[in-house]
Amino acid sequence: MNLADKKVLITGSTMGIGHASARAMLAAGARVALHGRNIERVREAIAELGFPGQSVAVGGDVGDPEQCRQLVEDAVAQLGGLDFLVCNAGIGDLSYPEAVTEEHWDKVMNVNCRSGYLLTKHALPALRQSRGAVLLVASAAGICAGPTDNFAYAIAKAGMISLAQTLSVELAPSGIRVNALCPGFINTPLIEAENRATNGQIHRFVEQATLLHRIGTEDECASTVAYLATDEAAYFTGVAIINDGGLTVQRSWGGRN
């Protein structure tokens, strides 16, 4: 895989899928702006990855519209352009439909859906120049309903998939492609924390619900993200790519409502 000279911004890249994806793209020669809410933590992540000459750090909360603008402008300035925007930052959710509060709803929708729209908007001038691409990281939960204690999360991710569809139409005349990635259960810190919070329920569920009987790894997601940054992926636009080990194909909801 060759990403030499590709300029990438990936939000939420201090850990999890974002961090593994940044590593995969750096290893393929890309220059990557890593992002997190806490810029010190981003600098630590860059040091851990070991590609200091190819990495820059940006900070900010993607739930905040003004910080969305600032972090994109900061990344574009430091990289000197942008070829690939990966809107990956997101937050988890443990709330049933009858228990979700307004504050929680707003936070999940703003971080997990509105951010995709605003980050793409602010990246437009740079992406028009490069005829680049956008990847919105959604979730298999946004395709197929499962256990409903991630009510707000799953709904926000369905919105993110819709944005990939509509923005692909809007931005095609500018040569910009927009896709969504829908990971299933991946062994990210977010999922592992949820697993602990539910006494191992996530792992038990994944083992019986996926065709491959296991959780996915961050690297298995990262390789897909990195592929979508390559010129070989140039014919993908407006689609949601599902990377879930056979979770959604059987429409198995796991036996709990």
Partner 1 sequence: MTNRIDLLNQKVLIAGTDNALRKCVYSAFTDEGADVRAMDPVDTMDRAGVEGIQAAVASEIARLGGLDVLVVSMDVSSQPRLDHAGVEHWDAAFTRPLKSAIFATQAATPTLRNSRGAIVNLGSIIGQMGARPGLSITSAAIACLIHETRMLALRLSPDQVRVNCVCHGYLQDAEITDGPSGGDSKASRSVATEVPFGRLTTPEDVVGTVLFLASGQSRFLTGNIVYADGGTFAGH
**H or E stretch at 139:** none
The token pair at 183 is 């990971």
Closer to partner 1 by CB, 165 or 230: give it.
165
Q: Pick from 40, 48, 170, 207 the residue near partner 1 by CB under 8 A.
A: 170
- 91 φ, ψ to 5°? -125, 155
N- to C-terminal Cα separation, the chain: 42
Q: Which of 183, 175, 184 minimizes the C-alpha distance to 205? A: 184
Chosen residue from 37, 41, 65, 94 binding partner 1 by CB under 8 A: 65
Query: Binding string, 172-211, against partner 1, x = CB under 8 A?
Result: xx--------------------------------------
Residue 252 binds partner 1, judged by CB under 8 A: no
* Among 98, 199, 200, 235, interactor with partner 1 by CB under 8 A: 98
Q: For residue 102, what are the contacts with CB-CB under 8 A and spacing of at least 6?
A: none
Backbone φ/ψ region at 17: left (φ over 0), alpha (ψ -120 to 50), beta: alpha
Strand partners, 133: 84, 177
Q: Is 153 a catalytic residue?
A: yes
Q: By CB under 8 A, name the binding residues for partner 1.
A: 65, 96-98, 100, 102, 105-106, 109, 113-114, 117-118, 120-121, 124, 142, 144-146, 148, 151, 154-156, 158-163, 165-173, 238, 253, 257
Q: What are the residue numbers of the active site?
A: 153
